């Protein structure tokens, strides 16, 4: 931190700087450094090992797109698995779906959950108190090891492949995820910035292709994640995301318990359309 500014450490030669209004908390768990800060104009931020994870300013874009694309692509998602997601944003969005009966959230660091509830109540709200929640504190890569056809949707809300997040980017992790999904099962994950993390996108797109019949990239602009369009990977062995028509999406969307600020059926159809430079990265 330099004279009242925070600069992210994810990229060596481009940094997002935040003018700090107030340092809310800075602690170290056994996994990582956990920081919460209030910026001058962009709301509150969760920062892990000096890498920005989420912010009250634009979290709705990321959490809605990581959640509603798979859940509205599935005909009737009942059991949902979330890996990571300790800030509670994905969990909040999953619980808006009437068809969902159980959400298993596997988070390695309980401190992130505890402190997010204290410093980011606007993100998690009361989602960690939901009766539909099965909370597992542990490594997501370990949890998926011996599961078979237990889930309809798996959402990987991991940090970047650094520190404890590394295990969530490996072939065996994707192989185990493909085994734990039921017929028509869907897995999605964040796959980084299209300009600054090309290798991460390319590498993960190639890996998932070994374990799923369909895999597709979709995008959204998330200002906090610098480097142009932010990317997500959709995988399934039963659902081809390009074949879901707008009328079906509109019908399913009426079921949602409460409003969204970014996601809508038209965005759902459009977000899989890719600019040529991203098609090039995936070729």
Residues that bind ligand SAM (CB under 6 A): 53-54, 62, 83-87, 106-109, 112, 139-141, 157-160, 164-165, 167-168, 190
Instruction: Decide whether 84 or 265 has the Cβ nearer to ligand SAM.
Output: 84
Least distance to ligand SAM from the beta carbon of 90, Å?
Answer: 8
| Known catalytic membership, residue 79 | no
Question: CB 153 → ligand SAM: shortest distance, Å?
Answer: 17
> Of residues 58, 157, 160, 171, which has the active-site annotation?
157
Q: Dihedral through CA 60, CA 89, CA 126, CA 73, nearest 10?
A: 90
Q: How many CB atoms lie within 10 A of CB 282?
A: 17
Helix axes 198-208, 171-180, angle to 10 degrees: 50
Rounded Cα distance between 243 and 47, Å, is 38
Nearest approach, Cβ of residue 158 and ligand SAM (Å): 5
In a 3-state reduction of DSSP, which class is residue 194? coil
Q: Which spans in 20-134 are helix H?
A: 59-73, 89-94, 110-119, 121-124
**Do 51 and 11 touch, CB atoms closer than 8 A?**
no
**Smallest separation (angstroms) from ligand SAM to the CB of 100:** 20
Using the minimum distance from each CB to ligand SAM, give the nearer residue, 229 or 249.
229
Stated as kind and residue range, the H or E segment containing 1 is: none
Nearer to ligand SAM, 144 or 249 (CB): 144
Q: Looking at beta carbons only, is 43 or 164 nearer to ligand SAM?
A: 164
CB of 243 vs ligand SAM, minimal distance in Å: 28
Cβ nearer to ligand SAM, comparing 119 with 265: 119
Sign, CA dihedral 186-182-152-84, equals negative
- Beta strand residue intervals within 138-244, DSSP E: 151-157, 181-193, 214-220, 230-236
Tell me the catalytic residues. Answer: 157
């Amino acid at each position: 931190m330099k004279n009242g500014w925070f600069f992210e450490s994810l990229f060596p030669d481009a940094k997002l700087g935040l003018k700090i209004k107030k340092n809310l908390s800075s602690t170290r768990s056994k996994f990582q450094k956990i920081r919460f800060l209030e910026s001058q104009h962009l709301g509150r931020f969760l920062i892990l090992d000096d890498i920005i994870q989420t912010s009250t300013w634009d979290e709705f874009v990321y959490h809605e797109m990581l959640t509603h694309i798979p859940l509205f692509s599935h005909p009737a998602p009942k059991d949902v698995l979330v890996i990571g997601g300790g800030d509670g944003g994905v969990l909040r969005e999953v619980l808006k779906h009437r068809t969902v009966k159980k959400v298993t959230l596997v988070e390695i660091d309980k401190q992130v959950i505890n402190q997010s509830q204290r410093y980011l109540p606007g993100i998690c709200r009361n989602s960690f108190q939901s009766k539909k929640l099965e909370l597992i504190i542990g490594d997501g890569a370990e949890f998926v090891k011996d599961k078979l056809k237990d889930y309809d949707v798996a959402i990987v809300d991991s940090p970047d492949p650094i520190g404890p997040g590394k295990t969530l980017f490996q072939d065996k992790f994707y192989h185990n995820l493909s085994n734990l999904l039921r017929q028509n099962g869907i897995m999605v994950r964040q796959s980084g910035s299209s300009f600054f993390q090309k290798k991460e996108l390319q590498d993960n797109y190639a890996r998932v292709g070994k374990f799923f019949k369909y895999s597709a990239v979709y995008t959204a602009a998330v200002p906090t994640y610098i480097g142009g369009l932010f990317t997500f990977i959709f995988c399934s062995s039963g659902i081809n995301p390009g074949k879901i028509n707008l009328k079906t999406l509109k019908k399913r969307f009426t079921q949602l318990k409460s409003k969204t600020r970014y996601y809508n059926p038209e965005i759902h159809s459009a977000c899989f359309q890719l600019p040529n430079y991203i098609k090039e990265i995936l070729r």
